[in-house]
A and B are shown apart, each in its own frame.
Chain A
Amino acid sequence: MRSQNPLGTVNALRSVRARNESAWLLPVSSPDVAERMRSYADDDEVDLVIVGCGAGGSTLAQRLARQGWSIVVLEAGPFWEPERDWVSDEAGSHHLYWTEPRVIDGEDPVPLGSNNSGRGVGGSMVHFAGYAPRFHPSDFQTETLDGVGADWPLDYEDLRPYYEDMEEELPVAGQDWPWGEPHSYPHSPHPVGGNGEVFLRGAENCGIEARVGPVAISNGRFGHRRHCIYRGFCLQGCKVDAKASPLITHVPDAIAHGAEIRANSTAIRVDVDARTGLARGVHFVQGGVERFQRARIVAVAAYSIETPRLLLNSSSPRFPEGLCNDFDLVGRYLMVQGAPQTGGRFEDEVRMYKAPPPEVSSEQFYETDPSKPYKRGFSIQTVSPLPITWAEHVAAQGHWGRELRRRMTDYVHWACLGALCEFLPLPGNRVTLDAEKDRRGMPVAHVTYSRGGNDKRLMKAAQETMEQILRAAGAAEVMTIERYAHLVGGARMAADQEHGVVDADCRTFAVPNLFLTDGSVLPTQGSANPALTIMALAARTAARLAAGARQGVRRPTEASVQQSE
C-alpha cells in the first residue's frame, strides 16, 4: 500500500519526476516541438522505430529514450495542440477518431471510429473516458482457473511494479480498491456528480459495493497539470490537461530525451531482410510521399486493428501470408468487451453531462461465480453520454421523429451506467485485409465479430444488474442498449509460436528484432478498461530491452559469428 501521509506524497512526487518528468514539461506547444525536438534522417539507422504514438508506443519511447536510445515514432495522425485543435463539443471532436475506411461484418458487427479508435499523438487515450483499473490476478490464467480463454505467458506479479509506476505517472485517483489484488491509489477520489451519486446510492440500496475511481485524472498538485474543472467532455480530449493521455504523460519526457515524434506519417509496411530475417525499418507515407526509416529494432504499436493490418500488408516471400503469420494467428482472437448501457429516469435532475463520465465503478461481479450459468464476469461503471450519444441511445430503442425529439427533452432526468463484459477470445473474430483500398493504395481492414454463448449470457446478467441498481436508486423507468467497448487482441502473446504472435516480452517469435507493444498482444481482456495494462506491458518490455542492452535482442547470425572469429 502506498503511503498517504504528506511526506510520503512529496517523496512519491520526487520519484515520479525522476522517472518521468512529463508533467513538469507542460505545456508542450508547437514551437517547442518544431524547434527543440530532435529530428533524424531516413538514412540514420535509429535504435528503435515505433509505429503508433498511443498508450503502448509512447510509453516504450519514453522509457527507452531515457536509456539513451535514438528513437523515431511514426504517428499516422497529427501532433495535437489541445488549445487550438480540441473543442468542448461532441460533433466537433470527430477528427480525434480513426475515421479512415474500415469494413465491419460478422453476426455482431462492431462499430469502430469514435467507439474505440483514436489517431494522433496520444492515441485513443486522447478520447478514452479515463478509467484506469488494473487487471485481476485471475485474468492471467483464465484457462487454468475457468477452462475458458487463454493463460498469459506472464503473471500478475510480473506486471505489478509497472502498474504501480503507471498509476503514479498518469496519475490515478480513486478510493482504496478492494477487488483483484487490493491496492490504493496515489491521488484521492474526485467529487462525484449526479450520475455517480445515483450509482453509489443504488448500489448501496441493493447491497452491491461500488467505489469512486479509478480515474486517470490528477486530483491535487502534479507538475504543471491543471486541476479538473468537471466539465464532462473527457471523451472529446481534455483541454484542461487534467485527464491523462500519453500526449501529456509520456511524450514530453520522450522528446526531452531525444525522441522524434514524426506525426502525419502512416506506416504501410515493415521491411524484413530476407537474408538475415531481421526487420530493417518501416516504409511510411508522409504528405503523399513514400519514405523509409531505417532502424535496428522495430516496434509496432498501432492497436488491435492497424497492427494486424500492417503485419498482413507486410508479406514477403518468407512470409507469404503476412509478417509473423506462419501459424495463421495474426488478426485472430480480436476482442471487444460487451458494453450494454442502461439509462434510468429520475424525477430529480441528474444532469449527467456534469463531472467526468468516469466516476464510480464496481468490480464485484468481475470473477467467475460458480452459481452462474457463465464463466468470468463484468464490471459496472458510470458513463455519461452527451446529447448526440444519448440520442443514439434513445434512437436504438426504435424511437425517431417527434417521439425521439420528445424523449430527448427529458435528457437532464436520466442517469446512465455501462458494463464491461469479458467476452472470450475466439479465433473467428479477426482482422483481415479487404479488397477496398485506402487513399494510399493500402487494403483497408475488414473486421469480423460474432459473440459466443457465454458472451450473450454475460451481457444479459450485466444488464439485469444495472437495471436493478438504477431501480434501487429510485429510477421509475430504465432502458438498455447493447453496445461494445474497447479493442484488444489480434496478435496475442503466448508461451510458444504455435499459440501466439509474440512472447511475454512482446517480441515476435518470427522476427527477433520486431516487437508489438500495444493492446493487440492481450490474450484475454478481463472486465477492465485496457489502457493501464497496455502501458504497463509496454513499460515492462522497455525494461527488458534496456536490461538486455541494445545489442542483446539480436540473435547472432551465422555471418556475424564468422566475422568475429
Chain B
Amino acid sequence: MTLPLPEHDGGGRFPGQRSLEQRDHWDEATSSLILSRVGRPPDVCFFNAEEEGIASAMLDQLVGQEGEPRVPLVNVVDARLAAGETDGWRYADLPEDGEVWRRSVRYIDEDSRERYGVGFAKATPAQQEAVLEAVHGLEGQWHGMPAGHVWNLWLRYACTAFYAHPWAWDEIGFPGPAYPRGYSNLGVGRREHFEVRDARPGEQA
C-alpha cells in the first residue's frame, strides 16, 4: 500500500520502499506491534460519534491526509485517550489531554459553523484548513485555552500517530525497525540493500 501523496507534496521520492516487506527480519515483539498498525483499527470508544467525525477530519488535516488509503489517525488517537496514555505531563493552563480533545473538537466545529455555516466534518478541505490555520496563527486564547499549547498538543498526537505507521515511513525513505539485523553500511551516501535511493534528491525542503 502507498499513501496517496501528490508529487508536488513530496510523493514518490522512494519508489519501491516497502518497510513491511522486511518484517521477517524483525524481532517478534516489534513485528506484532507494527503489524497491528496495518491490521483492523481499534474501535472508537473515547469520542462519541459526532466527536469522532470532527476529530478524524482534524487529524487528517493536521498531517495533510486526503484520499484513500489513509492512516486511521482517529482510531489511534482515540485509543490513546481511552487508555489515558499521555506524554507524561500537561501544561498547567490546560486540562487533561482527553478533556482538551473533547473541547477542541467542539470548538473547531463551532468555528466552522460560524465561519462557513457548516460543521467541520462536512466542510470542504480548504475550509477545514482555513479554520485550523486561524487557530495556528492565534497568539492568545482560543475559546479560553492558550492557542499555542493546544496547537502543540494536537500536533504531538497527530505526528505520533501518523509517523508510527509503516506507510508513512515508506514515503520518507525510513526503513523501519532494525533489530536484530541492524545496519552495516554507515556513512553519508551509503545504503543497505533494503534502503531506496531518493529519486529526487535535489528537491529542496
Contacts and interface: CB of A to CB of B under 8 A. Distances in A.
Do they bind each other?
yes
Interface of A: 83-92, 94, 97-105, 109, 111-114, 117, 191-194, 197-198, 228-233, 239-240, 345-351, 353-355, 386-388, 390-392, 395, 398, 400-414, 446-447, 476-477
A407 B205 contact: yes
B191 interface: yes
Interface string B60-80: 011110000000000000000
Contacts of B93: 105
B33 A89 contact: yes
Given A101-B86, A229-B181, A403-B64, 6 more contacts: A101-B96, A114-B87, A117-B88, A355-B186, A406-B64, A412-B172
Contacts of A413: 198, 201, 205
A104 B169 CA distance: 32
B136 interface: yes
Contacts of A87: 27, 29-30, 33, 177
B84 to A, nearest CB: 9
Interface stretch (B5-13, B47-55, B116-124): B5-13
A353 B88 contact: no
A355 B202 CA distance: 25
Contacts of A386: 174
Contact of A89 (B34, B180, B183, B198): B34
Interface of B: 5, 8-11, 13, 26-27, 29-30, 33-34, 61-64, 85-93, 96, 129, 132, 136, 155-156, 159-164, 168-169, 171-174, 176-191, 195, 197-198, 201-205
Nearest to A226: B180
B63 A349 contact: no
A197 B187 contact: yes
A114 B62 contact: no
A429 B201 CA distance: 45
B189 A230 contact: no
Given A99-B87, A231-B178, A392-B159, A193 B186 contact: yes
Interface centre among A100, A346, A413 (most CB of B within 10 A): A413
Contact of B205 (A111, A345, A391): A345
A241 B92 CA distance: 38
20 contacts: A85-B29, A89-B30, A89-B34, A99-B86, A101-B89, A104-B91, A111-B89, A113-B86, A191-B186, A197-B187, A229-B183, A348-B188, A353-B174, A401-B62, A401-B129, A404-B62, A405-B63, A411-B173, A413-B198, A413-B201
Given A351-B191, A391-B159, A408-B10, A97 B63 contact: no
B163 A230 contact: no
Contacts of B64: 400-406
A231 B201 CA distance: 24
Nearest to A401: B64
A89 B37 CA distance: 12
A160 B66 CA distance: 59
Contacts of B8: 406
Name the residue among A103, A446, A447 with the largest chain B CB count within 10 angstroms.
Answer: A103
Interface of B is mostly: loop
A505 B161 CA distance: 46
B11 A409 contact: yes
Nearest to A352: B188
Contact of B92 (A83, A94, A109, A355): A109
A408 B195 contact: no
A484 to B, nearest CB: 12
Nearest to B159: A391
A77 B191 CA distance: 38
Given A87-B29, A113-B87, A233 B10 contact: no
B89 A112 contact: yes
Given A91-B164, A229-B181, A410 B205 contact: yes
A401 to B, nearest CB: 4
A204 to B, nearest CB: 14
Given A111-B87, A191-B186, A406-B10, A388 B164 contact: yes
A402 B64 CA distance: 4
Given A99-B87, A392-B155, A411 B172 contact: yes
A233 B162 CA distance: 19
A98 B204 CA distance: 38
A390 B159 CA distance: 9
A443 B125 CA distance: 44
Contacts of A230: 182-184, 186
Contacts of B9: 402, 405-406, 409
B138 to A, nearest CB: 13
Contacts of B201: 347-349, 413
Contact of B204 (A85, A408, A477): A477
Nearest to B6: A402
A35 to B, nearest CB: 23
Contact of B195 (A89, A104, A112, A351): A351
A231 B87 CA distance: 25
Given A231-B179, A345-B205, A400 B88 contact: no
Would you list the 8 A-B pairs with minimal beta carbon distance, nearest first?
A: A229-B182, A113-B88, A409-B10, A402-B64, A91-B164, A105-B92, A88-B177, A231-B178
